[in-house]
Structure 1
């Protein structure tokens, strides 16, 4: 019903966009439209990025691995949500839901939007891409630039903004498993001189699944308004609303060799289980050029998110007839509500001082989480012949006897930093930066006041690196960077002697080479890295909580963009990654650190153009090597089997129409994306999905 309403809204919005296009026709007359026919390589390559340095810097002059997923690549792969593009990001592997690993480290807390914190998607929801122009990644510790975060890197989503030229698009997609989506987008000038511009977009989708009792609806409203207050100042206002109604999906139980114990359509959820996610995000940014050598940027971001999760979770495998094979799982019903709020204020100044480009800035980050969690043990479910007939109304779940968690966590963080880009010689460019962070967190447990805790600390981060233009074809770089992640206040409460645990501290050495061969048709970026993270909280030899663990990750990343012919382009990403955990006892910490770290990953996307019929065909491949996971019942880590899947895409254009067909998992492979634990088993990858899309530009 919500989808039908949304499609009606989109039709009305489409009519509005048509009228807006007519209104803006006069103002568009003065906008010069130039269509550039370039090499196929330009589809997927970005030469500059402000993300790593906050200045418009050539990636070749950035002494740290930076990767940009362009809008063309997102569209070609029919990527609706973040996991659809992970194959094209070296060093990135899937963990679960919206959580990934970068260079071997779990990457959850540090996701940026337009360069600042404020991620509305939480642990069990997945970032959507409808309002995203680019996806950027900075590999390794980024503390000197963005403060506290994960050791493996940070991902930045660049949102779509109002445009100077008029752009209007209507899109409709249908697919198997009852997939249906529609969107309308319009962006362009409001007044004759284009000093005021707007963006408006609406997206809605609905789909089923090959898994039992799974449906999902998504709705997104994205609005923006930009105003050139003067020749030197631009104010941009944005509002985005996300709504998602679906199921919290766990995996399918597996044995120690990674074999599924039942059909992969099995699911522990009942038909009435659901997960509802709703979020509102407000963002304002002011860019101001103070004079010909000094620029400033001020950004404010606020979001409110609510997650309501009611589902049946598998808890333990059971062998009811003692024949040596599991045939049931025990379950409990969980009723969870999480309310998240975040506020971020960031500002920085960029001074162009000739050979030096100086950046100074400060930011403030506030995040709160209010969680209420009830659960109750309920009837078992068969693995081979599940009967989905639970009477949820009889559970009487919201009873004090079923209350597990009622807590509030609040985090405040203030940071200040300075950075210098020094063009030391014509060929040598040096980058150095340092940052100071103060953070404090308060944890209130409404079920047990003795668990209440507060924590505050100060941390330092630094980065230094250099790039060198050996010649036009070979451009090496090297860097050293550090980062930190504060321990949570609730973990501090578990300290045996009451002392505070130091933040996790990470450092990375990286060397790389950017090469341009075959008359610039072949671009190869190679990076070798070594990361050490200290102060991991774990159990010591006596079973007490202590910050003694050290984790080491090292590996190789190779990213290739190549014009095989002027019409044939390929994008290839390969990763070798090796993670070890030293001085960490055999507890759940080891499981989280070592789980789902493949030694080898390979992603390929290649596209061939047929200009005579304005069409293209594309082929994709993803290989993820064998991984391990840990449980309490297997003596050795259990195996997550490797997989290889293939995709196919066809595009054709006719006048202002674009038609596209995508087949994902072409050969309908059954595979595990990642391991979760023995009972929840392996998170199952998508079976074959077919999407047919028609879009119209006007």
Structure 2
């Protein structure tokens, strides 16, 4: 790894990549028209899902020596998931909701660390407050890869990745209209139609659209969303297929800033507790206007009986105009300082992934070889303002009024960030005697980051070269009992700078995992259990004075996970999970936010064939153990319950009711660095009526 100042010559990465892309595209086009098949091919065999997320090749989840979980469309519908970070509430290893219900950010912690978000296997970049928000109504399923995942996806956080998979065209004509209403003035109208375009069915389409508005979980906050996603799939030949994917989404609202002080939340005061819905922002001045659009394609061409070529590409654009006010620190028993930030800019990015996959057999073996090259390019241009730690103004802790003085234009700093990454990877998966699975992979990345402050005229550059390794072994035992051992690595480049104006070093992670996956052939379900040891180096932590980020040494996370999804009877399905996480920061202190214990269980019962044929009911319980909020704060555990009921009125009409936090439990979800605490989401009630054809 080498880091150099701006005066050194720029490596000719972009030139080399653009030449390679031209050759790659030109070579494919000379053979056949552009074609694509979704990289994430999935076959649903009950609850045992065959997916390509973990390996970029189709492999049954229970025969993969890597930790992967999936939530499919049926479960998203049953729980009426509104935001991406609600998806894995009933899976192990994933913490969400620790900042309450945020209307402009999806928050996850996986095994105690941050994660990256992907859409259809391609990275969705997040830089500060510039975050792509996938609309859950437009998704077919969501997958989580737990732990370092740089081997196939390049630079990424140590916690792993979330991969959201878009809805695709269907072979048969179908459609639905979904109308919803609920508390917090929730209103939603969605439609989803798909089917063949031609009589032969070689061209298929899908169009998904949505209008949704809802108040936030804090007073005087809200969001309005318009979403539209068309797609087209074309079988150009028996060996070649093209899928075009596009989406447009516009959000307009007042942001939820869930920051509250320990004073009045976990700490008693002479003036009582702070109401969970208290908003310390400036609703008449704050705003969150976000427009995101993307267009891309996926390609797959079978060259012969052994080899196939795949190529995925996406261009995306994100425009953000954000003004956000939040509480900062206490002055006295009734007064606190407030901070304020602004972002006004846009991100343009494109990413392309080229893969060759070969598969061949002998009498005793099945070998799958994957090698590929991918390239990612991102450019951020924005104007920004951040108040210093002394605060922007003051606010009454128990009776905030919300007014704020506008930020003068000359206080906005102009920033430009350019980021490129070129990666080469090779992976081999060898299956021996239908008993042993051996997996080995290596990846080389070259990443360049330029961060320029156009107001001060300073620029910093980082050139990071990284080699990542991964390996695993699994034994396919009798009765579907498959023990495994795996090792993975990750690195994540940084776009922020320290107090001296230098870019932070990349974060590096590595993980060992020992586990077992159980999926007997006679049972529609699976159970997985694993122990893991995860370490991250060059971690960024909030300084003891608050606000400022420091690059520390290593952070560790060790733990145990178990989860299962399956049918106990033909009508009764159980989803259950337990997670133990011992996460520590530099010096062995316990990490903020991360509970040691999490457990959840959800039961579905379908009354098909009974007196109330067409009725399905479900109920779940989620328990999150106590967590640390810093050196002086302990956050109590909490338990909440969820429920749903759905009734198929006839073949076309379905009515459904979903209630989350059914008892309206008031609880502090987490605290952080002795400075801020966050209430958990209040009760959510949503009724829906769906028409299908």
Fold match by TM threshold 0.5? yes
Alignment equivalent of 1:595, drawn from 583, 592, 596: 592
Equivalences for 1:445-464 in 2 at 5 Å? 445-450=453-458, 452-464=459-471
How far 1:650 sits from its partner (Å)? 0.3
Q: Does 1:281 align with 2:288?
A: no
Q: Does 1:640 align with 2:644?
A: no
Q: Does 1:385 align with 2:391?
A: no
How far 1:343 sits from its partner (Å)? 0.7
Is the 1:98–1:122 Cα contact (8 Å) retained in structure 2? Answer: no
Rounded Cα–Cα distance in structure 1 between residues aligned with 2:318 and 2:661: 33
1:33 aligns with: none
**Helix, strand or coil for the counterpart of 2:280?**
coil
Alignment equivalent of 1:63, drawn from 65, 69, 82: 65
Q: Structure 1: any 5+ residue segments left out of the alignment?
A: 1-40, 320-325, 585-589, 631-635
Alignment equivalent of 2:109, drawn from 101, 109, 121: 101
Alignment equivalent of 1:296, drawn from 309, 313, 318: 309
Alignment equivalent of 2:661, drawn from 665, 668, 692: 665
Could you tell which deviates more after superposition, 524-533 or 371-380?
371-380
Alignment equivalent of 2:91, drawn from 64, 89, 93: 89
Is the 2:217–2:256 Cα contact (8 Å) retained in structure 1? Answer: no
99 and 265 in structure 1: CA distance in 2 versus 1, 3 angstrom threshold = closer
Equivalences for 1:583-622 in 2 at 5 Å? 594-611=591-608, 612=610, 613-622=613-622
Q: Does 1:362 align with 2:373?
A: yes
Q: Does 1:475 align with 2:485?
A: no
How far 1:531 sits from its partner (Å)? 1.0
433 and 256 in structure 1: CA distance in 2 versus 1, 3 angstrom threshold = farther
Equivalences for 1:422-437 in 2 at 5 Å? 422-437=430-445
2:530 aligns with: 527
Is the 1:60–1:467 Cα contact (8 Å) retained in structure 2? Answer: no
53 and 396 in structure 1: CA distance in 2 versus 1, 3 angstrom threshold = closer
Rounded Cα–Cα distance in structure 2 between residues aligned with 1:144 and 1:333: 39
**Helix, strand or coil for the counterpart of 2:568?**
strand
Rounded Cα–Cα distance in structure 2 between residues aligned with 1:312 and 1:138: 34
2:4 aligns with: none
How far 1:663 sits from its partner (Å)? 1.0
Equivalences for 1:543-582 in 2 at 5 Å? 549-582=553-586
2:40 aligns with: none
**Helix, strand or coil for the counterpart of 1:269?**
coil
396 and 57 in structure 1: CA distance in 2 versus 1, 3 angstrom threshold = closer
2:280 aligns with: 268
How far 1:426 sits from its partner (Å)? 2.3
Could you tell which deviates more after superposition, 572-581 or 670-679?
670-679
Alignment equivalent of 2:408, drawn from 375, 398, 401: 398
How far 1:638 sits from its partner (Å)? 1.7
Could you tell which deviates more after superposition, 345-354 or 304-313?
304-313
**Helix, strand or coil for the counterpart of 2:122?**
coil
How far 1:83 sits from its partner (Å)? 2.0
Q: Deviations over 1:619-655 (max 9, x none)?
A: 011111111223xxxxx33223321110110011122
Is the 2:55–2:152 Cα contact (8 Å) retained in structure 1? Answer: yes
Q: Deviations over 1:293-321 (max 9, x none)?
A: 111111111111112112332222221xx
Q: Deviations over 1:347-388 (max 9, x none)?
A: 101101222111111100112222312367665322223334
201 and 557 in structure 1: CA distance in 2 versus 1, 3 angstrom threshold = same
Alignment equivalent of 2:507, drawn from 504, 507, 513: 504
Q: Does 1:350 align with 2:362?
A: no
Is the 1:87–1:573 Cα contact (8 Å) retained in structure 2? Answer: no
Is the 1:227–1:235 Cα contact (8 Å) retained in structure 2? Answer: yes
Is the 2:261–2:329 Cα contact (8 Å) retained in structure 1? Answer: no
**Helix, strand or coil for the counterpart of 2:478?**
coil
Rounded Cα–Cα distance in structure 2 between residues aligned with 1:438 and 1:492: 26
2:3 aligns with: none
Could you tell which deviates more after superposition, 359-368 or 207-216?
207-216
How far 1:617 sits from its partner (Å)? 0.5
How far 1:122 sits from its partner (Å)? 6.7
Rounded Cα–Cα distance in structure 1 between residues aligned with 2:298 and 2:521: 42
Is the 1:340–1:367 Cα contact (8 Å) retained in structure 2? Answer: yes
1:18 aligns with: none
**Helix, strand or coil for the counterpart of 1:230?**
coil
Is the 1:120–1:305 Cα contact (8 Å) retained in structure 2? Answer: no
Alignment equivalent of 1:179, drawn from 186, 197, 205: 186
How far 1:148 sits from its partner (Å)? 1.1
Rounded Cα–Cα distance in structure 1 between residues aligned with 2:128 and 2:540: 23
Is the 2:307–2:359 Cα contact (8 Å) retained in structure 1? Answer: yes
How far 1:665 sits from its partner (Å)? 0.8
1:623 aligns with: 623
2:122 aligns with: 116
Alignment equivalent of 1:138, drawn from 136, 145, 160: 145
Is the 1:113–1:119 Cα contact (8 Å) retained in structure 2? Answer: no
Quote the RMSD (CA, aligned, Å). 2.6
Is the 1:242–1:279 Cα contact (8 Å) retained in structure 2? Answer: yes
Rounded Cα–Cα distance in structure 2 between residues aligned with 1:131 and 1:597: 30
232 and 373 in structure 1: CA distance in 2 versus 1, 3 angstrom threshold = same
Rounded Cα–Cα distance in structure 1 between residues aligned with 2:519 and 2:56: 25
Rounded Cα–Cα distance in structure 2 between residues aligned with 1:242 and 1:368: 20
TM-score, structure 1 normalization: 0.84
State how many pairs are aligned: 623
TM-score, structure 2 normalization: 0.85
123 and 600 in structure 1: CA distance in 2 versus 1, 3 angstrom threshold = farther
2:21 aligns with: none
